[in-house]
Structure 1
Amino acid sequence: MRLQATLTRPQADFFVSEAKYPAFVGGFGSGKSETLAQRAIADAAHSGSALIGIYAPTYDLLKLVNVTRIELKLHEHGIRHKWHSQDKAIYTSHPGFGDFIFRTMDTPERIVGYETFRAHADELDTLKTEHARTAWNQIIARNRQVLKDRPDALNRAAAYTTPEGFRFTHDRWVVNATPDYRIYRAPTYSNPFLPSDYIDGLRASYPAQLIEAYIEGQFVNLTSGTVYSSYDRMRCETGETIRDGEQLYIGQDFNVGQMFSAIAVRRVDGFHVAQELAGVLDTPELIRVLRERFAVHPIRIYPDASGKSRKTVDASRSDLILLKEAGFKVVVNPSNPAVRDRIVSVNHAFESARLHVNSRACPTLAAALEQQAYNPKTGEPDKEGGFDHPCDAIGYLAVKEMPVRRPRREQATVKPPAEPPDYRRREVEHDEDAWKVL
């Protein structure tokens, strides 16, 4: 069967994806519902026996958005169909074209008793993280129909959502991504069919961090302002690991039972945090672990300056003295730099690509950099969420090795507005199961 559709560049990239579990993550108005409908139609064109599963958070959204749009597309393509309200399904009577079953994700335990060939989950991040995880696992468990006339056709399940903070989509498609899970981003301005004042209206209605989520389609902290706004997991990612005998640079935060070490190596382009130590009991235990794991490495430690007066075990020796006696090079000022200086140094290091994080080896640090927010009452970085220790540790390293030098004379500068990417419409043609960019 031959179908034609006009798609934006992100939509086209999503359509030709061969990932088993692709996610279309976009801003408001980026065409998520349209993308879902078009891809579901294409999936149904594989076989008259194909059953396509469509999922939404609630029945109201399912009927108002998904059922209505798929019926519209079927009508446009001239495919005979009928909505069956009791079965919550659209049955087609077109030769070689499958059917659609519609289910909500508000009660995942009811996603049972049938098998789908392909599946599509809409607005997944509007659900709470664990609820979304349960629903997704139920969806992919049902997605195992084998087409008798097309046994070579593979099962796939796709997700579509606007980012709602660091919820399930971020955890599954970013933090714990595998080759089967691939994410496709679609900013609002990639859609050329929106009203001319739509984006300006959004910018006037939302604060900066919501603009990143609702226009750019980025995962951001939606609770309050994110402290380390320049950190982007993908852009700042590194695959660097520790090499035999090389110098280690360790940002160190002291807290009994919650010690944190950000262990970095130096490369031509800057510092790469390649390992972390989290939850070490105290300074003597930290020394033991470092000696055991990195016996052949020279070590420079950048600690919390308050460690010169803290005594974790022996009242006669401070944390810093213990580190020096262990043979480590301790790099520290008489007092800690201002919190703002540390934050600015870290953000600038990420912006200038001089600081990178191996998020696979340092999951605690990566999560903390993404999620630490400002306390709205004090204006200081929040210390209640447990993200402050990893961020403080990397800050002590950054402010010494990559400090931001204050200019001698303040000068106001005006940057020209950045040009949005050139997202031109691309004609996409469906011929059996192959989508080709024309």
Structure 2
Amino acid sequence: MKKEVYIGFKDADGNQTDPLPKQKDGILAFKLNKHTITAGSLGWGKTDWLVAIGAAEALKYPKNEILIGRKHLGSFNRSTRTSFDNMIPSELIKRENKQLGVIELYNGTKFHYVPLDGSKEAMKKIQGMNLGLALIDQIEEISEEVFLTIVGRLRRQNASRKTASTCNPAGHDWIWKRWVQNKRKNHGLVEGSIWREGTPPPECQRDVTFATCDNPYLPWDYIKGLLTDYPDRWVQRFIYGSWENFEGLVWPAAGRLPWPEGHSVQPQKVPNWWNKYIFFDWGHRNPSAAIFVAVDEQGTAWIYDCYHATGEWVDYHAASLIKKMKDDSFAGMYADPSMFSERDSEYTIARQFEDLGIYFEPANNDLQGGIDHVGRMWERNQIRVFNLPEFEPFWEEVENYRWSEMKVQTQNDPEKPIKMKDHFPDCIRYMANHLLTAEKPKRPAATRYLLSNRSVSPEKAYMGV
């Protein structure tokens, strides 16, 4: 006689239990949508929901191929794998190949656990898959590029070809844009929290009910400890599930709100005696970005124009920049120092720009100093940005520029930001590093004659104003 095994949700003692209401909502959302996320606070059962979806799909479609992963395998093993082992009985598992990261069930379904860190090795492995389902734990940790690569492998016949993901909100990132701001068709979102914002912390277990908590089986003192012992910004994100969280932002003072609440101002004519600069960050496969800056006599930087393009060559960038430069004179034009490197060829990127009429100088690329200088400028309201549609990519990068998260809880906070979508932040760093020592313009007492050169050589760059 075959032994019956239970596959599904369990309580803390390992007993069979029904899914929580929000988990039921997530199951329904998965049935109705192509890409479903359960988001919000920690502790309300998102990962168990994710594994339950995987278990149901594994049994519904024999010989299925399912990706299950998180950015780092260490985090996967500590969290996702624990839920997997708790929900899927060992009696159903035929074999596991730890070297390849494959768990095979007796019905032929295979779970592939993969780090979703965007590395060449991981991406190559994903690109070789023929998937029927993808399960992503903590999708906010990965890039949109990795997500789209996974979606591109959902092509297996006799399968749902869907994604299910969990998420702790991380501000206005690509996930927020796709599932919240401009909710796309077939994108399902279920949000939960372990405590209602505005409700006093619990004082006993009777205070923890479905009216106040989406998982009332959590100990009351655990919830109270999180609410009282952690910083407010952490609580906003990990307890209340707020998408407006600023935890981990490099420049939390920066914002696109209208002046004076934020740094966005209406476009206006720039006095011709202000010092104008261009700061450029080079990329081909990655975006190239530039900011056009005018500095007044107080040292305030007015960013009046910007440039952003991906997958283009030097001639395209040069023509686009020259068009934006018009007949203005510039006190200096500074670019990513890597453009001047002769490691691969003496004909550097900077030399190519020179041949097309743009003479850049190497920018000061001091990372930590630049971050500090920019932070002080934001806080002192020394940066103002024209309110123009072309600044949307600028604000998207600046408002989501974050420090790398700690991999080990006992480590100090990291000193480097996440190296992703940092092209405009790099430009602003170049700007702040230069303006720290640059001479401020002086209001003219009489008419001054300006150079009309569209671009100037480094030797003549400081003759213009």
TM-score (normalised: structure 2):
0.46
Q: Which has the higher contact order (CA 8 A, sep 6+)?
A: 1
Which is richer in strand? 1
